A and B are shown apart, each in its own frame.
Chain A
Amino acid sequence: MSLLTTNYLTPTGREEAWRFTPLNRLAGLHDGTSITGDRKSLGVRKALPPGVNISRVSAELVPSDSVSDDAITQRVQSEAADVFLVEVAPNHSLQEPIYLDRQRSGMDSAELSRVRINVGLHSQATVIVENVGNAILAEDVEIVLSPGATLTFITLQEWGPDSVHAARHHATVGADATFKSITVTVGGSLVRLLPRVDFSGPGSSAELVGVYFATAGQHFEHRMHVDHGVPRAKSRVNYKGALAGDKAHTVWIGDVYIRAAAEGTDTYELNRNLLLSDGARADSVPNLEIETGEIVGAGHASTTGRFDDEQLFYLMSRGIPMDQARRLVVRGFFSEIISQIHDEVIEERLMGRIDSELDKAGQQ
C-alpha cells in the first residue's frame, strides 16, 4: 500500500464519470478535504446463520480484489485501516439472510469503509445491508463469488436527509456462479453508487435490479458497469426510479462491455423513470459496447414518463381518489423490484417510506 493521497486524480466535474455529480455536495469525499474519523459503523443486526464468519481484519491481510479508476474508491482502498470481512464457508446453503446495518452513524466526520464478502464454492447466501441515520460514508464493497456460488446482495439506502454516501459494489462472479444485487435508494442528500460486475468464469450470471425515489433537492446516482470478458455469461439490469419535487435529480448510467472473448453473452438492461412533478430531472444513459458478434443477445431500453393518465382514470372511475390512485400506481411501479427482497417486514417498511416520500412531494 504505497499510494499517496496526492496521487488520486481529484475529479473536476468535467470527467464523463463525474459530469452529473454536484461535487460541492460530496462533503469532501472526492478531494480528500473531508475529515476522516475512525468510526466503524457496520455491524451485525441479527444472529448469524451457521456457515458464516464475520470479522474485522487488518487491511493488509485482505488486499483489494479489484482496481478502480474512481477517486473515492481509490481513497477507501488505500486509507481504510481494516476490512469488514464476511465469509460464507463452501457448500453451505444459508437458510436465513445475513443482516448487516450501519449503527452509530454521524455527520461529524467521514467514514471510509472497506467491506469484503467471500462466498465459498457452491454456497448460497443472502446479505442485506441497511443504511440508516445520517452519515458521510465512502464505501468499497468487494464481493467474490467462488465457482457455483449464489449470492443475493441487498443494500437499502434508507438514509436520513443529510447523508452523503458514495459506494462501489464490485462483484467478481466465478464460473457458473449467480450474483444478484438489489439496490434501494430512498433517503440521503447525495447518494452515488457504482454497482460493478466482472465475470471471472464462463456460465456465470448477474442480475442487478434497483429502485430509487428522489424528492426535492436529492441527488441519487447509480452507475452500473458490467464487464463481459468470459464466454457464455448472462447479465440483466432493471432499475426503476421515481422523482418528485424541485431539483430532485437522478442519474442512471448502464455501461455494458462485451469483450472479444465473451462469445455467447446474453445481456439486457432497462431503466424506467417516473417523473411525478415539474422541476425534477432524470438522466438515463444506457451504453453498450460490443467487440464480438457471436452473442446470444444484447439490448437496452430507457424510458422516462409521467403518470399514465389512463391508469389513474381507471382507478378513479372506481371511486378511488386521485392521491390514493397515485399511491397505488407508484407502489405498483416499485413492487416489481421490492417484492424480490422476500422479507415482508422490509418490503412493507420500504413501501411505507415510498408512500411518505410521495406525500411529502404532494405537499410541495
Chain B
Amino acid sequence: MSTLEIRGLEVSVTTEKGPIEILKGVDLTIRSGETHAIMGPNGSGKSTLAYAIAGHPKYTITRGSLTLDGENLLEMKVDERAKAGLFLAMQYPVEVPGVSVSNFLRTAATALRGEAPKLRTWVGEVKSAMKALNMDASFSERNVNEGFSGGEKKRHEIMQLELLKPKIAILDETDSGLDVDALKIVSEGVNRAKEANDLGILLITHYTRILRYIKPDFVHVFANGHIVEEGGPELAEKLEEHGYVEYVNS
C-alpha cells in the first residue's frame, strides 16, 4: 500500500525572464489501486504538476510538500524518486540519439532493481512486454524514441510502465495521438500494470474516451494552477459536454 501526498504545492518555472508562478497550491492524495483523472484547459499547469512530482530541474517548488509513503520526495533526485516507486509517462517523450531501447531498458531495470536482470529471463520479459503493446521486436534495436511516431512513443512509455513496475504512475496525455486500436492496447497495458502491482494512477487527459477503458475513481478539474472541482466519473461527462468555461476565471 503506497500513498503519494501532495500538499499546498506551489511551483514556478525558470525562464530567461525570471521565474513564473504556475502551480498555486495543489492538494491531492493518490493511493495504491486508485485511479485519479485530471482534466483541464491547455496551459492550466497539468504537465507542470507531473514534471514537478518527477523532479524536472526546470521547475522549482516554492511552497508545499510532496511525499511518497511519508518519504520527502523533494529531497530526492530524479532517479531516486523513480527508485522510490514513481513513474512518469510523458506527454512528449524525449528522443535520446545513439542509445538503443534495449540498452536503455536494461540500464533502467538494473538501476531500479539494484542488480542486472538475468539475461535469459530479461530478454523474454522485454519481448513479451513489447508484444503486449503491439510493438515490433525491431524497436529494441532502435534509438530511444528517435523517429518513433507519436503513437509509438506512447506505447513505448506504457511498455516501460509494465516492465519497470512502479507504485504510482503519472500518465500525461498518454491518450493523445493514439488511434482507436492503439488507445485500447495502451489502456489494457495500463490496466494490466494496475492489476499486477496495485498501481496508483494519476491520469491527465483531455478526453473521456480513455476513461471508458481506464475507469477513474476520482475526477479533478484543473484550472489556473490548481484543482477547482472534484467528483466521480460523472464529472468527466459533464466536462465533455460543457467545457471549462465555468472554471477558467476561478
Contacts and interface: CB of A to CB of B under 8 A. Distances in A.
A320 B96 contact: no
A363 interface: no
Contacts of A335: 98
Interface in B71-108: 77-79, 81-83, 87-88, 90, 93-99, 103-104, 107-108
B97 A317 contact: no
A268 interface: no
A329 B96 contact: yes
A20 interface: no
B79 A320 contact: yes
10 contacts: A311-B96, A314-B93, A314-B96, A315-B108, A317-B54, A317-B88, A319-B111, A329-B96, A331-B98, A332-B99
B168 to A, nearest CB: 13
A69 interface: no
B164 interface: yes
A332 B79 contact: no
Contact of B104 (A310, A321, A328): A328
Given A315-B99, A321-B79, 14 more contacts: A309-B57, A313-B78, A314-B90, A314-B93, A316-B77, A316-B78, A316-B79, A316-B82, A318-B108, A331-B98, A331-B99, A332-B97, A333-B97, A336-B98
A3 interface: no
A327 to B, nearest CB: 9
A318 B79 CA distance: 7
A325 B96 CA distance: 10
B143 A322 contact: no
A324 interface: yes
Band of interface residues on A: 20 to 34
B51 to A, nearest CB: 8
Sorted nearest first, the 4 A-B pairs with minimum C-beta distance are A332-B98, A316-B78, A318-B108, A319-B82
Contacts of B77: 316, 321-322
Given A319-B82, A328-B103, A336 B56 contact: no
B224 interface: no
Most buried by B among A311, A329, A332, A335: A332
A159 interface: no
A252 interface: no
A78 to B, nearest CB: 44
A334 interface: yes
Nearest to B163: A318
Given A309-B57, A324-B111, A318 B82 contact: yes
Interface of B: 54-58, 77-79, 81-83, 87-88, 90, 93-99, 103-104, 107-108, 111-112, 143-144, 160, 164
Given A318-B108, A328-B107, A311 B160 contact: no
Contact of B164 (A310, A315, A319): A319
B99 to A, nearest CB: 4
Interface string A5-39: 00000000000000000000000000000000000
Given A329-B99, A332-B98, A317 B104 contact: no
A242 B190 CA distance: 40
Contacts of A331: 98-99
Contacts of A316: 55, 77-79, 82
Given A321-B111, A328-B104, A311 B79 contact: no
A317 B79 CA distance: 5
Interface string A277-313: 0000000000000000000000000000000011101
Contacts of B96: 311, 314-315, 328-329, 332
A319 B112 contact: yes
Nearest to B98: A332
Contact of B82 (A310, A317, A322): A317
Contacts of B82: 316-319
A358 to B, nearest CB: 14
Contacts of B111: 318-321, 324
Contacts of A334: 98
Given A309-B57, A309-B58, A318 B160 contact: yes
Given A309-B57, A313-B56, A331-B99, A320 B107 contact: yes
Contacts of B55: 316-317
Nearest to B95: A311
A319 B99 contact: no
Contacts of A329: 96, 99
Nearest to A336: B98
A328 B99 contact: yes
Interface string A161-199: 000000000000000000000000000000000000000
A255 B174 CA distance: 47
B37 to A, nearest CB: 21
Nearest to B113: A319
A310 B112 CA distance: 20
A329 B164 CA distance: 21
A64 B164 CA distance: 61
